[in-house]
Amino acid sequence: MPTDPLSENLRRLRGAAGLTQAGLAAKAGVPRATLASMEQAGSNPGIQSVQAVARALDVGLDELIDPRPQERHYLVGPKEQQDYRADAGRFSARLVSPIASKGVAMHRVVMQPGCHSIGRPHPPGAQEFFFTLAGAAVIEIEGDPVTVPAGHLLQFPGQHRHIYRNPSEAVCEAVSVVVLQLG
């Protein structure tokens, strides 16, 4: 992993934009010497300069200061995914997000016909996003049933008592994303 993502990212992004140091400095409204310094490892620019350069390059601040994308991604293979089964196997949820993910859990959900599985409550403030890919699900939230047909998304407070059901004759496939704290 690079020791100074800012300098490396700035040089890479400036080059991709086809700009010279002088051209980017003018576009960002900073002195060329400041930009040249930012492209050197170990520089310590002010936040205003970094923000101005990010705006001039039309990128987020994270694109300048975080490691390059290929150094900050995590690919989760099938062997690293965890399965949870309930309701005599009629409900299955596969945790597909990395175990180390903080604040979010993504599951691939498959509900067989007749499925009736009580959801595990999430911590206060959590939100669950349930997107049906095929079939239809009924999610009961605090006793209130909500039908979620294919192509629809249901968002609800995850700490509320909830039950996943598939009353139809077809298999229901969905994705559930739990965000532990929004905002």
pLDDT (average), residues 59-76: 74
Angle at 125 (CA atoms; ends 177, 127), nearest 5 degrees: 20
| pLDDT number for residue 61 | 84
Kindly report, as residue ranges, where domains of CATH 1.10.260.40 are found in the chain: 5-72
Q: Where in the chain is the domain with CATH 2.60.120.10?
A: 78-179
Q: Would you place residue 63 in the very low, low, confident or very high pLDDT band (cuts 50, 70, 90)?
A: confident
What pLDDT, on the 0 to 100 scale, is given for residue 181?
72
**In percent, how much of the chain has pLDDT > 90?**
68
pTM: 0.62
Using one digit for the tens of pLDDT, what is the confidence trace for 106-135? 999 999 999 999 998 888 889 999 999 999
| pLDDT tens per residue, range 85-95 | 999 999 999 98
- The tokens of 1 are what? 């992993």
Sign of CA dihedral 78, 150, 177, 75: positive
CATH code: domain 5-72 is: 1.10.260.40
Burial (Cβ within 10 Å: 0-12, 13-18, ≥19) of residue 38: buried
- CATH code of 78-179, in short, is 2.60.120.10
Place of tokens 């051209």: 23
- Give me the chain's average pLDDT, please: 90
In this prediction, residue 1 carries a pLDDT of: 40
- At residue 45's C-alpha, the angle toward residues 42 and 47, to 5°, is 135
Q: Which residue has the tokens 């350069």?
A: 53
Q: What is the CA 55 to chain-centroid distance, rounded?
A: 23
CA distance 92 to 121: 17
